[in-house]
């Protein structure tokens, strides 16, 4: 299975830049097995300030908490078998890869009553249909960042993909699947279509749009936006949020046609030594007040609808974090397109050569 490049680097930079407080963790050289132990493998600063302590207080289970820098590092740890972890936090495309490789447990929902708190928009992702192997955790988006005083109000991908109004003042991400994905959504197709005619239609749309672009930029569009080099850009929500904090003339929107989103889940890898404790921990993460404390610490969009009662109003009302439910419902996560991948590669090559 070919893995596409996910947005992990930029969104982790965003998270680190939010100033999330350090969490008191029990670090060590690796996982250990004990009746009162839980071995967690996660990104840095991707949990609430008190989550681990409240879990231990309520269960008596001590948490061994190890960190990885990227998903490929995490995946490499499991290629020769589970080294002893009970809970991991993979992103959408990595979950699909690990499910195909038989690395993740199918979850017993009867042991996860807080699964009922998950927003319906996240219950049937293409990378894990029916959420059989994960509980959705946090999500983010790829949308449009723009300068309000120059552009006015934006609500559609049309401004970037099907208009010359801001010709020479716009940029797209240099990421083939995400750019092709939003073009497909704009044309009312699936972002993961395998239909050659639909893929070619997106190609043709982007070839025409390219005439009006300053360029395809490698995750630096937010810098061009704040410097004044461009007025409209396709970028990750976290990156635009950072420059919005520096310049209140900048804003972010997920267009009405929907967008390509990323979703991180919480999973139980096969072969973990503390299965019972893993279920307790997954359920604890989605206690509404526990999840809200994490969301208020890291400033990502939670998948937990019951937690919103306790999440800060400033985050809930921030378009760079949360989008309207009807827009989220029209958005999709990328998944493996199998034998159609060469069609995407060929289309992208033609777009770049045009």
CATH number of 141-260+333-353: 3.40.190.10
For 227-262, how does the pLDDT look when each residue is reduced to its tens digit (9 = 90+)? 999 999 999 998 898 899 899 999 999 999 999 999
Here the tokens at position 230 are: 């461009």
How large is the greatest C-alpha to C-alpha distance in the chain, in angstroms? 64
Mean pLDDT of 54-68: 95
**pLDDT above 90 coverage of the chain, percent:** 79
Is a pLDDT exceeding 60 seen at residue 148? yes
- Model confidence band, residue 18 (pLDDT cutoffs 50, 70, 90): very low
Is a pLDDT exceeding 70 seen at residue 13? no
Is a pLDDT exceeding 90 seen at residue 302? yes
Residues of the chain with CATH 3.40.190.10: 8-139+261-323, 141-260+333-353
Taking a C-beta distance cutoff of 8 angstroms, is the pair 281, 60 a contact?
no
Q: Which of 81, 59, 64 is nearest to 25 (CA)?
A: 64
Question: What is the three-state SS of 184-211?
Answer: HHHCCCCCCCCCHHHHHHHHHHHHHHHC
Tell me 316's DSSP state. Answer: H
Report the CATH fold assignment for 8-139+261-323: D-Maltodextrin-Binding Protein; domain 2 (3.40.190)
Is a pLDDT exceeding 80 seen at residue 28? no
Mean pLDDT of 212-225: 92
For 259-289, how does the pLDDT look when each residue is reduced to its tens digit (9 = 90+)? 999 999 999 999 999 999 999 999 999 999 9
* pLDDT (0 to 100) of residue 30: 57
What are the backbone angles phi and psi of residue 2, rounded to the nearest 5°?
-85, 130
* pLDDT (0 to 100) of residue 15: 42
> Measured between alpha carbons, how far is 246 from 280 in angstroms, rounded to an integer?
41
Taking a C-beta distance cutoff of 8 angstroms, is the pair 320, 237 a contact?
yes
* pLDDT (0 to 100) of residue 35: 65
Q: Which residues contact 238 (CB under 8 A, 6 or more apart)?
A: 10, 11, 13, 14, 15, 140, 300, 320
> pTM for the full model?
0.81
For 90-101, how does the pLDDT look when each residue is reduced to its tens digit (9 = 90+)? 999 899 999 999
Measured CA to CA in angstroms, residue 233 lies from 6, 230, 264 at distances of: 18, 7, 24
């Amino acid at each position: 299975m070919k893995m596409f490049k996910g947005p992990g680097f930029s969104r982790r930079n965003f998270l680190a830049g939010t100033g999330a407080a350090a969490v008191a963790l029990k670090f060590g050289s690796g996982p250990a097995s004990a009746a009162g132990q839980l071995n967690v493998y996660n990104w840095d600063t991707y949990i609430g300030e008190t989550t681990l302590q409240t879990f231990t207080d309520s269960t008596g289970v001590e948490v061994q908490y190890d960190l990885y820098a990227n998903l490929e590092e995490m995946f490499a740890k499991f290629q020769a078998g589970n080294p002893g972890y009970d809970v991991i936090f993979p992103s959408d495309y990595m979950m699909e890869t690990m499910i195909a490789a038989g690395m993740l447990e199918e979850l017993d929902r009867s042991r996860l009553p807080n699964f009922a708190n998950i927003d319906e928009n996240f219950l049937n992702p293409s990378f894990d249909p029916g959420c059989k192997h994960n509980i959705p955790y946090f999500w983010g988006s790829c949308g449009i960042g723009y300068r309000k005083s120059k552009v006015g109000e934006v609500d559609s991908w049309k401004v970037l993909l099907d208009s010359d109004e801001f010709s020479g003042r716009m940029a797209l991400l240099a990421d083939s699947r995400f750019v092709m994905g939003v073009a497909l959504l704009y044309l009312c197709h699936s972002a993961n279509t395998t239909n050659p005619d639909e893929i070619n239609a997106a190609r043709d749309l982007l070839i025409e749009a390219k005439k009006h672009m300053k360029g395809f930029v490698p995750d630096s569009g937010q810098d061009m936006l704040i410097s004044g080099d461009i007025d409209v850009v396709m970028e990750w929500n976290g990156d635009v949020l950072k420059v919005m904090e520096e310049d209140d003339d900048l804003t972010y929107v997920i267009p009405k046609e929907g967008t390509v989103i990323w979703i991180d889940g919480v999973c139980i890898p096969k072969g973990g030594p503390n299965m019972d404790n893993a279920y307790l921990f997954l359920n604890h993460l989605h206690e509404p007040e526990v999840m809200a404390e994490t969301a208020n610490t890291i400033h990502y969009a939670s998948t937990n609808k019951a937690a919103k009662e306790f999440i800060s109003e400033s985050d809930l009302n921030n378009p760079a974090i949360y989008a309207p439910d009807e827009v989220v419902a029209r958005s999709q996560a990328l998944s493996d397109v199998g034998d159609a991948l060469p069609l995407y590669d060929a289309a992208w090559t033609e777009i770049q050569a045009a």
